[in-house]
Amino acid sequence: MASASSNRSERVLAAVPTEADQDVYRALAANAAKGVGVVTARQGRWDVAVTITDHLSISYDPPTMLVSLYALSRIAEAVTQADRWALSLLPDSLRPTADWLGEQGSPLVGLLGQVPHFRRDADGPALIDGALAWFELRTTAVHEAATHVLVVGEVVAMGSAAEPGAEPLVRFRSEYR
């Protein structure tokens, strides 16, 4: 059904997108509602942990997930170097955790000091207590894409750590819902 609407906007990007193109893209892409998660990995004796919204489940067979990480970030370095990493999906009650781990330049020392978490074993990545679901993953592929790396991993172990009736933390138009 072809249709006409008066609410339409359109912007054709320059061959080399301008800063203005990027700003418009940023605003439009923020219209994707996204569940909020935390990616964790050990880096030597340290925990690296960052709030992300760019994750997805690729396949059930075998259980396979993907996260998109800024290529020059510490979390990208930690995840691609570690033999295991984790994704925890946050309930709305953990918005303070999402804020804390979403800040640029979070401290490495004491990063998880106030974040309830647990591990499957002493060397494992931190899993966020209260997570709607958590997944421990082993990397199977890393693809470069523009400014980011796409890290594909197979699920090694998984579970839930949520209170009954927990609701998801969702981000839409740069705000939490």
Residues 40-99 that bind a second copy (CB under 8 A): 54-66, 68, 89
- CB of residue 167 to a second copy, shortest distance in Å: 8
Cis, bond preceding 63 (omega within 30 deg of 0): no
Tokens of 110: 């004491």
Q: From 87, 83, 71, select the one nearest 36 (Cα to Cα).
A: 87
| Residue among 13, 20, 72, 108 that touches a second copy (CB under 8 A) | 13
**Stretch in the footprint of a second copy (CB under 8 A) among 10-18, 42-50, 72-80, 98-106:** 10-18
**Residue with smaller CB distance to a second copy, 15 or 44:** 15
Cα distances (angstroms) measured from residue 75 to each of 17, 22, 35, 65, 162: 27, 24, 19, 16, 25
Cis, bond preceding 62 (omega within 30 deg of 0): yes
Which residues partner with 139 through β-bridges?
Answer: 153
**Stretch in the footprint of a second copy (CB under 8 A) among 14-22, 41-49, 74-82, 98-106:** 14-22
| Residue among 10, 45, 104, 109 that touches a second copy (CB under 8 A) | 10
Q: Should residue 108 be labelled a site residue for a second copy when binding is judged by CB under 8 A?
A: no
**Residue with smaller CB distance to a second copy, 13 or 108:** 13
Residues near a second copy (CB under 8 A), total: 77
Residues 141-170 that bind a second copy (CB under 8 A): 141, 143, 145-148, 150, 152, 155-164, 168, 170
Q: From 65, 77, 71, select the one nearest 140 (Cα to Cα).
A: 65
CB 148 within 8 A of CB 65: no
- CB of residue 140 to a second copy, shortest distance in Å: 8
| Residue among 43, 106, 129, 139 that touches a second copy (CB under 8 A) | 129
Tokens of 135: 């997944």
**Stretch in the footprint of a second copy (CB under 8 A) among 38-46, 75-83, 98-106, 114-122:** 114-122
* Distance from C-alpha of 24 to C-alpha of 13, rounded to nearest angstrom: 10
**Residue with smaller CB distance to a second copy, 30 or 77:** 30
Q: How many CB atoms are located within 10 Å of the residue 26 CB?
A: 10
